[in-house]
Structure 1
C-alpha cells in the first residue's frame, strides 16, 4: 500500500478552512480555526489569526493535510471591494 506524500504549505497568506472533524481527533486546534481563519505560512510553520489575534499554530505539513487554503491577495487597491 503506498502512502500519499503531503507537501508543506508554501510561504504565503491564506484563508484556511478545516476539513470535516474526525470523531477521534480530540482537541487539536481545529475548533479555534473553524469555520475559517486567515493564516500566514513561512513554509515550515503556519500561524492562524482571527480578528488580528493569533488563535493557533502548527507545522506546514500538518496544516496542508488538515485544512483547505485559498490565497489571500497581499496587494489590494481601493477598488477591490
Structure 2
C-alpha cells in the first residue's frame, strides 16, 4: 500500500513565487508563462493571485500555487 503525499498549504499573505520550469517554453506549456520566471503572489483564503506591475496577471487555487511554485514569504521589515 502506498502512502499519500501530503500537500503544502499557504496562509494569507504576500509571497515571491518562482516557476520550477527552467525555460519560458516549459513554463508556457504548463500555463505559467505570465508568472515566469517569478512574480509577486498574494494568497487570500483559498485563492492565489499573481501580480506584475501592480496588475493581476493570473490566479489559481492556493493549493495549486503552494505545490507547483517555489514560494518565499515576503517579510516586511
TM range (shorter): 0.7 to 0.9
Q: State how far apart, in whole Å, the 1-side matches of 2:13 and 2:43 are.
A: 5
Match of 1:63 in 2: 65
Give 1:64 deviation, angstroms: 0.7
Query: Higher strand fraction: Structure 1 or Structure 2?
Result: 2
Aligned to 1:68, the other structure's residue is in SS state strand
The worse-fitting range, judged by mean Cα deviation, of 58-67 and 12-21 is 12-21
Q: State how far apart, in whole Å, the 1-side matches of 2:59 and 2:38 are.
A: 14
Considering only CA atoms, is the larger Rg found in Structure 1 or Structure 2? 1
- Runs of 4+ displaced beyond 3 Å: none
Please list every run of 5 or more consecutive structure 2 residues that lacks an aligned counterpart in the other structure: none
Match of 2:6 in 1: 5
Deviations 1:17-56 (A, max 9, x none): 01127x6x8452x111001000100231000001111110
Aligned to 2:51, the other structure's residue is in SS state strand
How do 1:16-55 and structure 2 match up within 5 A?
16-20=17-21, 26-28=29-31, 30-55=32-57
